[in-house]
Amino acid sequence: MMDRSELYLKMYRDMLRVRKFEQALEREFKLGNVPGMLHTGIGQEATMVAVAHSLRTKDGLFPDHRSHGLLFLKGTPGERIMAELFGKATGVCSGKGGSLHSADKSVNNFGDNAVEGSFMVTALGVALGWQMQGSDALAAVMLGDGTAGEGAWHESLNLAAAWKLPVLYCCVNNGYAISTPVGKSHATGDLYKFAAAYDMPSVQVDGNDLMAVYEVTQKAVEHIRAGKGPYFIEYITWRWQGLFMGEFRDKEEVRYWKEVHEPIKLADEDMLQKGIATIELLKQIENEVQEEIESWVTFAKQSPDPDPAKATGNVYVGWEVETR
Ligand SMILES: Cc1ncc(C[n+]2csc(CCOP(=O)(O)OP(=O)(O)O)c2C)c(N)n1
Ligand SMILES: [Mg+2]
Protein backbone atom coordinates (compact mmCIF):
# COMPACT_ATOMS: atom_id res chain seq x y z
CA MET A 1 0.00 0.00 0.00
CA MET A 2 1.35 3.41 -1.03
CA ASP A 3 1.75 6.05 1.68
CA ARG A 4 0.17 9.45 1.16
CA SER A 5 3.36 11.15 -0.09
CA GLU A 6 4.00 8.42 -2.64
CA LEU A 7 0.40 8.61 -3.81
CA TYR A 8 0.62 12.39 -4.08
CA LEU A 9 3.78 12.15 -6.17
CA LYS A 10 2.29 9.45 -8.39
CA MET A 11 -0.86 11.47 -8.99
CA TYR A 12 1.22 14.60 -9.59
CA ARG A 13 3.17 12.75 -12.27
CA ASP A 14 -0.11 11.66 -13.84
CA MET A 15 -1.38 15.25 -13.88
CA LEU A 16 1.75 16.21 -15.80
CA ARG A 17 1.27 13.27 -18.16
CA VAL A 18 -2.24 14.50 -18.95
CA ARG A 19 -1.08 18.12 -19.36
CA LYS A 20 1.83 17.22 -21.62
CA PHE A 21 -0.22 14.73 -23.61
CA GLU A 22 -2.76 17.47 -24.37
CA GLN A 23 -0.10 20.08 -25.12
CA ALA A 24 1.58 17.70 -27.56
CA LEU A 25 -1.78 17.02 -29.17
CA GLU A 26 -2.52 20.75 -29.52
CA ARG A 27 0.86 21.28 -31.15
CA GLU A 28 0.40 18.36 -33.55
CA PHE A 29 -3.20 19.41 -34.29
CA LYS A 30 -1.99 22.84 -35.38
CA LEU A 31 0.59 21.13 -37.61
CA GLY A 32 -2.24 19.19 -39.26
CA ASN A 33 -1.19 15.79 -37.89
CA VAL A 34 -4.33 15.16 -35.80
CA PRO A 35 -7.52 14.82 -37.84
CA GLY A 36 -11.01 15.88 -36.77
CA MET A 37 -11.92 18.13 -33.84
CA LEU A 38 -9.90 18.51 -30.68
CA HIS A 39 -11.18 19.46 -27.22
CA THR A 40 -8.46 19.26 -24.64
CA GLY A 41 -8.73 18.70 -20.90
CA ILE A 42 -6.00 21.20 -19.99
CA GLY A 43 -6.93 22.74 -16.64
CA GLN A 44 -8.99 19.70 -15.61
CA GLU A 45 -6.10 17.35 -14.84
CA ALA A 46 -6.74 17.03 -11.10
CA THR A 47 -10.25 15.74 -11.67
CA MET A 48 -9.21 13.17 -14.26
CA VAL A 49 -6.30 11.89 -12.21
CA ALA A 50 -8.30 11.56 -8.99
CA VAL A 51 -11.06 9.68 -10.81
CA ALA A 52 -8.55 7.38 -12.50
CA HIS A 53 -6.85 6.59 -9.19
CA SER A 54 -10.21 5.76 -7.63
CA LEU A 55 -11.23 3.24 -10.29
CA ARG A 56 -10.16 -0.36 -10.71
CA THR A 57 -9.68 -2.00 -14.09
CA LYS A 58 -13.02 -3.77 -13.78
CA ASP A 59 -14.90 -0.52 -13.14
CA GLY A 60 -16.50 0.93 -16.23
CA LEU A 61 -15.45 4.29 -17.63
CA PHE A 62 -17.66 6.50 -19.79
CA PRO A 63 -15.27 9.29 -20.77
CA ASP A 64 -16.34 12.63 -22.28
CA HIS A 65 -14.82 14.71 -25.06
CA ARG A 66 -12.11 16.17 -22.78
CA SER A 67 -11.07 12.87 -21.17
CA HIS A 68 -8.08 11.90 -23.35
CA GLY A 69 -5.97 11.63 -20.21
CA LEU A 70 -8.40 9.22 -18.64
CA LEU A 71 -8.16 6.95 -21.67
CA PHE A 72 -4.56 6.10 -20.88
CA LEU A 73 -4.83 6.46 -17.11
CA LYS A 74 -7.49 3.71 -17.21
CA GLY A 75 -4.80 1.32 -18.42
CA THR A 76 -4.60 1.43 -22.20
CA PRO A 77 -0.97 2.00 -23.27
CA GLY A 78 -0.50 5.74 -23.91
CA GLU A 79 1.12 5.31 -27.30
CA ARG A 80 -1.98 3.47 -28.52
CA ILE A 81 -4.18 6.36 -27.39
CA MET A 82 -1.88 8.88 -29.06
CA ALA A 83 -1.85 6.80 -32.27
CA GLU A 84 -5.65 6.62 -32.13
CA LEU A 85 -5.90 10.40 -32.02
CA PHE A 86 -3.53 10.56 -34.98
CA GLY A 87 -5.94 8.20 -36.80
CA LYS A 88 -3.29 5.50 -37.17
CA ALA A 89 -3.67 1.73 -37.60
CA THR A 90 -1.83 1.09 -34.32
CA GLY A 91 -4.42 3.10 -32.37
CA VAL A 92 -6.52 1.37 -29.74
CA CYS A 93 -9.48 1.32 -32.17
CA SER A 94 -7.29 0.95 -35.28
CA GLY A 95 -7.64 4.69 -35.93
CA LYS A 96 -11.42 4.52 -36.34
CA GLY A 97 -12.38 5.96 -32.95
CA GLY A 98 -10.34 9.14 -32.70
CA SER A 99 -10.86 11.53 -29.83
CA LEU A 100 -14.53 10.88 -29.15
CA HIS A 101 -15.02 7.21 -29.90
CA SER A 102 -11.99 5.53 -28.37
CA ALA A 103 -13.05 2.54 -26.36
CA ASP A 104 -11.07 -0.35 -24.90
CA LYS A 105 -13.05 -3.32 -23.65
CA SER A 106 -9.94 -4.88 -22.09
CA VAL A 107 -9.95 -2.13 -19.42
CA ASN A 108 -13.72 -1.51 -19.44
CA ASN A 109 -13.48 1.84 -21.16
CA PHE A 110 -16.83 2.04 -22.95
CA GLY A 111 -15.95 5.14 -24.99
CA ASP A 112 -17.76 8.38 -25.62
CA ASN A 113 -20.04 9.31 -28.49
CA ALA A 114 -21.11 12.47 -30.27
CA VAL A 115 -24.50 12.82 -28.58
CA GLU A 116 -23.90 14.58 -25.28
CA GLY A 117 -25.79 12.93 -22.45
CA SER A 118 -26.61 9.68 -24.19
CA PHE A 119 -23.81 7.83 -22.40
CA MET A 120 -25.45 8.60 -19.07
CA VAL A 121 -28.25 6.27 -20.11
CA THR A 122 -25.92 3.63 -21.56
CA ALA A 123 -24.01 3.61 -18.28
CA LEU A 124 -27.19 2.60 -16.48
CA GLY A 125 -27.37 -0.58 -18.55
CA VAL A 126 -23.80 -1.48 -17.68
CA ALA A 127 -24.40 -0.70 -13.99
CA LEU A 128 -27.62 -2.74 -13.97
CA GLY A 129 -25.79 -5.68 -15.53
CA TRP A 130 -23.16 -5.64 -12.80
CA GLN A 131 -25.75 -5.27 -10.10
CA MET A 132 -27.62 -8.32 -11.44
CA GLN A 133 -24.39 -10.32 -11.57
CA GLY A 134 -23.58 -9.42 -7.95
CA SER A 135 -20.36 -7.66 -8.99
CA ASP A 136 -19.02 -4.72 -6.99
CA ALA A 137 -17.88 -2.96 -10.18
CA LEU A 138 -19.19 0.53 -10.78
CA ALA A 139 -19.74 2.70 -13.83
CA ALA A 140 -18.06 6.14 -13.75
CA VAL A 141 -19.54 8.74 -16.06
CA MET A 142 -17.69 11.93 -17.00
CA LEU A 143 -19.99 14.78 -17.97
CA GLY A 144 -19.78 18.53 -18.41
CA ASP A 145 -21.98 21.27 -16.99
CA GLY A 146 -23.63 21.80 -20.37
CA THR A 147 -24.38 18.10 -20.63
CA ALA A 148 -26.16 18.39 -17.30
CA GLY A 149 -28.84 20.32 -19.16
CA GLU A 150 -29.88 17.26 -21.17
CA GLY A 151 -33.11 15.43 -20.41
CA ALA A 152 -31.11 12.19 -20.46
CA TRP A 153 -29.20 13.43 -17.44
CA HIS A 154 -32.36 13.68 -15.33
CA GLU A 155 -33.62 10.31 -16.57
CA SER A 156 -30.31 8.73 -15.68
CA LEU A 157 -30.14 10.23 -12.18
CA ASN A 158 -33.71 9.22 -11.47
CA LEU A 159 -33.39 5.59 -12.49
CA ALA A 160 -29.95 5.16 -10.93
CA ALA A 161 -31.36 6.37 -7.62
CA ALA A 162 -34.59 4.38 -7.88
CA TRP A 163 -32.72 1.13 -8.58
CA LYS A 164 -29.68 1.95 -6.42
CA LEU A 165 -27.38 1.39 -9.38
CA PRO A 166 -23.58 1.56 -8.96
CA VAL A 167 -22.99 4.77 -10.90
CA LEU A 168 -20.44 7.47 -10.10
CA TYR A 169 -21.43 10.76 -11.74
CA CYS A 170 -18.34 12.92 -12.26
CA CYS A 171 -19.67 16.29 -13.30
CA VAL A 172 -16.90 18.56 -14.47
CA ASN A 173 -18.29 22.04 -14.06
CA ASN A 174 -15.79 24.13 -16.01
CA GLY A 175 -18.09 27.12 -16.18
CA TYR A 176 -19.20 26.93 -19.79
CA ALA A 177 -20.95 24.88 -22.45
CA ILE A 178 -19.32 26.10 -25.65
CA SER A 179 -19.56 29.81 -24.62
CA THR A 180 -22.73 29.75 -22.48
CA PRO A 181 -21.97 30.36 -18.79
CA VAL A 182 -23.39 27.63 -16.57
CA GLY A 183 -25.63 30.02 -14.60
CA LYS A 184 -27.41 31.14 -17.78
CA SER A 185 -28.58 27.74 -18.92
CA HIS A 186 -29.49 26.09 -15.61
CA ALA A 187 -31.90 27.13 -12.88
CA THR A 188 -28.87 27.11 -10.60
CA GLY A 189 -25.18 26.98 -11.46
CA ASP A 190 -24.67 24.70 -8.44
CA LEU A 191 -25.37 21.50 -10.31
CA TYR A 192 -24.99 19.19 -7.32
CA LYS A 193 -28.31 20.54 -6.05
CA PHE A 194 -30.15 18.82 -8.91
CA ALA A 195 -28.72 15.42 -8.06
CA ALA A 196 -29.53 15.90 -4.39
CA ALA A 197 -33.19 16.17 -5.43
CA TYR A 198 -32.94 12.61 -6.78
CA ASP A 199 -32.14 11.45 -3.29
CA MET A 200 -28.51 10.49 -3.74
CA PRO A 201 -25.40 11.84 -1.99
CA SER A 202 -24.30 14.86 -3.95
CA VAL A 203 -21.33 17.14 -3.28
CA GLN A 204 -19.40 20.02 -4.78
CA VAL A 205 -15.60 20.17 -4.54
CA ASP A 206 -12.77 22.42 -5.70
CA GLY A 207 -11.78 20.44 -8.81
CA ASN A 208 -8.30 21.97 -8.95
CA ASP A 209 -7.24 20.75 -5.52
CA LEU A 210 -5.83 17.31 -6.31
CA MET A 211 -5.95 15.75 -2.85
CA ALA A 212 -9.37 17.21 -2.02
CA VAL A 213 -10.74 15.79 -5.26
CA TYR A 214 -9.16 12.42 -4.52
CA GLU A 215 -10.62 12.22 -1.02
CA VAL A 216 -14.13 13.11 -2.13
CA THR A 217 -13.96 10.62 -5.00
CA GLN A 218 -12.66 7.87 -2.70
CA LYS A 219 -15.57 8.40 -0.35
CA ALA A 220 -17.98 8.17 -3.25
CA VAL A 221 -16.59 4.92 -4.62
CA GLU A 222 -16.65 3.33 -1.16
CA HIS A 223 -20.32 4.23 -0.86
CA ILE A 224 -21.13 2.76 -4.27
CA ARG A 225 -19.11 -0.43 -3.72
CA ALA A 226 -20.96 -0.99 -0.47
CA GLY A 227 -24.12 -1.36 -2.57
CA LYS A 228 -25.63 1.95 -1.41
CA GLY A 229 -26.39 3.25 -4.89
CA PRO A 230 -25.20 6.18 -7.02
CA TYR A 231 -23.15 9.21 -5.97
CA PHE A 232 -22.83 12.58 -7.63
CA ILE A 233 -19.75 14.80 -7.51
CA GLU A 234 -19.53 18.27 -9.02
CA TYR A 235 -15.91 19.28 -9.61
CA ILE A 236 -15.52 23.05 -9.96
CA THR A 237 -12.77 23.73 -12.46
CA TRP A 238 -12.01 25.59 -15.65
CA ARG A 239 -10.96 24.50 -19.10
CA TRP A 240 -8.19 26.40 -20.78
CA GLN A 241 -9.49 25.71 -24.25
CA GLY A 242 -13.01 26.35 -25.50
CA LEU A 243 -14.87 24.07 -27.84
CA PHE A 244 -13.10 25.84 -30.66
CA MET A 245 -9.77 27.66 -30.86
CA GLY A 246 -9.85 31.28 -29.69
CA GLU A 247 -10.68 33.07 -26.43
CA PHE A 248 -14.06 34.52 -25.45
CA ARG A 249 -13.54 35.03 -21.70
CA ASP A 250 -12.27 38.21 -20.13
CA LYS A 251 -8.58 38.70 -19.37
CA GLU A 252 -8.91 38.73 -15.59
CA GLU A 253 -10.82 35.44 -15.58
CA VAL A 254 -8.18 33.81 -17.78
CA ARG A 255 -5.39 35.13 -15.58
CA TYR A 256 -7.03 33.88 -12.38
CA TRP A 257 -7.48 30.31 -13.59
CA LYS A 258 -4.21 29.99 -15.48
CA GLU A 259 -1.96 31.67 -12.94
CA VAL A 260 -3.59 31.67 -9.53
CA HIS A 261 -5.87 28.63 -9.51
CA GLU A 262 -3.91 26.22 -11.67
CA PRO A 263 -4.06 22.57 -10.53
CA ILE A 264 -0.45 21.64 -11.26
CA LYS A 265 0.96 24.83 -9.77
CA LEU A 266 -1.20 24.38 -6.66
CA ALA A 267 0.11 20.82 -6.21
CA ASP A 268 3.71 22.01 -6.83
CA GLU A 269 3.45 24.62 -4.10
CA ASP A 270 1.67 22.29 -1.68
CA MET A 271 4.21 19.48 -2.08
CA LEU A 272 7.17 21.84 -1.71
CA GLN A 273 5.64 23.41 1.37
CA LYS A 274 4.93 20.01 2.97
CA GLY A 275 8.39 18.69 2.11
CA ILE A 276 6.97 15.93 -0.11
CA ALA A 277 9.10 17.08 -3.06
CA THR A 278 12.04 19.31 -3.90
CA ILE A 279 12.30 21.63 -6.91
CA GLU A 280 14.89 19.22 -8.37
CA LEU A 281 12.53 16.26 -8.04
CA LEU A 282 9.67 18.15 -9.67
CA LYS A 283 11.95 19.14 -12.55
CA GLN A 284 13.10 15.55 -12.91
CA ILE A 285 9.50 14.29 -13.05
CA GLU A 286 8.67 16.91 -15.64
CA ASN A 287 11.60 15.91 -17.85
CA GLU A 288 10.74 12.22 -17.59
CA VAL A 289 7.12 12.87 -18.47
CA GLN A 290 8.05 15.08 -21.43
CA GLU A 291 10.26 12.30 -22.77
CA GLU A 292 7.53 9.68 -22.29
CA ILE A 293 4.91 11.75 -24.12
CA GLU A 294 7.24 12.61 -27.00
CA SER A 295 7.97 8.89 -27.41
CA TRP A 296 4.20 8.33 -27.82
CA VAL A 297 4.09 11.09 -30.45
CA THR A 298 6.99 9.50 -32.30
CA PHE A 299 5.24 6.11 -32.17
CA ALA A 300 2.05 7.67 -33.57
CA LYS A 301 3.90 9.52 -36.33
CA GLN A 302 5.83 6.45 -37.40
CA SER A 303 2.74 4.22 -37.39
CA PRO A 304 1.03 3.27 -40.67
CA ASP A 305 -2.30 4.72 -41.79
CA PRO A 306 -5.23 2.27 -41.60
CA ASP A 307 -5.78 0.01 -44.60
CA PRO A 308 -8.82 1.39 -46.54
CA ALA A 309 -9.87 -2.23 -47.26
CA LYS A 310 -10.55 -2.64 -43.52
CA ALA A 311 -12.77 0.44 -43.24
CA THR A 312 -15.99 -1.54 -42.76
CA GLY A 313 -14.51 -4.09 -40.34
CA ASN A 314 -15.19 -4.02 -36.57
CA VAL A 315 -18.04 -1.57 -36.95
CA TYR A 316 -20.38 -3.86 -35.07
CA VAL A 317 -19.02 -6.38 -32.58
CA GLY A 318 -19.60 -9.96 -33.74
CA TRP A 319 -21.98 -8.79 -36.41
CA GLU A 320 -21.37 -9.46 -40.09
CA VAL A 321 -22.76 -6.84 -42.45
CA GLU A 322 -24.59 -8.53 -45.29
CA THR A 323 -23.82 -7.08 -48.70
CA ARG A 324 -26.38 -7.46 -51.49
C1 LIG B 1 -27.12 16.39 -27.78
C2 LIG B 1 -25.97 17.28 -28.19
N3 LIG B 1 -26.18 18.60 -28.32
C4 LIG B 1 -25.16 19.41 -28.71
C5 LIG B 1 -23.92 18.89 -28.97
C6 LIG B 1 -22.79 19.80 -29.40
N7 LIG B 1 -21.86 19.99 -28.29
C8 LIG B 1 -20.71 19.28 -28.19
S9 LIG B 1 -19.85 19.66 -26.81
C10 LIG B 1 -21.01 20.79 -26.33
C11 LIG B 1 -20.85 21.58 -25.07
C12 LIG B 1 -20.76 20.70 -23.91
O13 LIG B 1 -20.54 21.50 -22.78
P14 LIG B 1 -20.11 20.83 -21.44
O15 LIG B 1 -20.95 19.64 -21.20
O16 LIG B 1 -20.13 21.87 -20.40
O17 LIG B 1 -18.64 20.31 -21.74
P18 LIG B 1 -17.27 21.14 -21.92
O19 LIG B 1 -17.02 21.26 -23.40
O20 LIG B 1 -17.40 22.45 -21.25
O21 LIG B 1 -16.25 20.28 -21.28
C22 LIG B 1 -22.05 20.85 -27.25
C23 LIG B 1 -23.23 21.74 -27.12
C24 LIG B 1 -23.75 17.48 -28.82
N25 LIG B 1 -22.58 16.91 -29.05
N26 LIG B 1 -24.79 16.70 -28.43
MG1 LIG C 1 -18.54 22.89 -19.55
Domains of the chain in sequence order = 4-302 (3.40.50.970)
Q: Which ligand is nearest to the CA of 147?
A: 1
Q: Is 44 in the pocket of ligand 1 (CB under 6 A)?
A: no
Distance 245 CA to ligand 2 centre (A): 15
* Confidence check: pLDDT of 95 > 50: yes
* Confidence check: pLDDT of 241 > 80: yes
∠ CA 220-221-227 to the nearest 5 degrees? 100
Q: Which ligand is nearest to the CA of 236?
A: 2
Condensed to tens digits (0 to 9), the pLDDT of residues 19-62 reads 999 999 999 999 999 998 899 999 999 999 999 999 999 999 99
* Confidence check: pLDDT of 149 > 70: yes
Q: Whose CA is nearest to atom 17 of ligand 1?
A: 144
Distance 9 CA to ligand 1 centre (A): 33
Backbone angles phi, psi at 155, to 5 degrees: -60, -40
Look up residue 310 and give its DSSP letter.
Answer: G
Backbone angles phi, psi at 102, to 5 degrees: -80, 120
Q: Which atom of ligand 1 is nearest to the CA of 64?
A: 21
Do 80 and 92 form a contact (C-beta atoms < 8 A)? yes
- The pLDDT value given to residue 324: 45
Q: Which ligand is nearest to the CA of 241?
A: 1
Q: What is the average pLDDT across 265-280?
A: 97
* Ion ligand 2 — residues with CB < 5 Å: 144-146, 174, 177
Three-class secondary structure of residue 308 per DSSP: helix
Concatenated DSSP letters for 215-267?
A: HHHHHHHHHHHTT---EEEEEE---SS-SSSS--S-HHHHHIIIIIS-HHHHH
In this prediction the pTM is: 0.95
- The pLDDT value given to residue 242: 81
* Confidence check: pLDDT of 319 > 60: no
Q: Which atom of ligand 1 is nearest to the CA of 149?
A: 15
Q: Whose CA is nearest to atom 6 of ligand 1?
A: 116
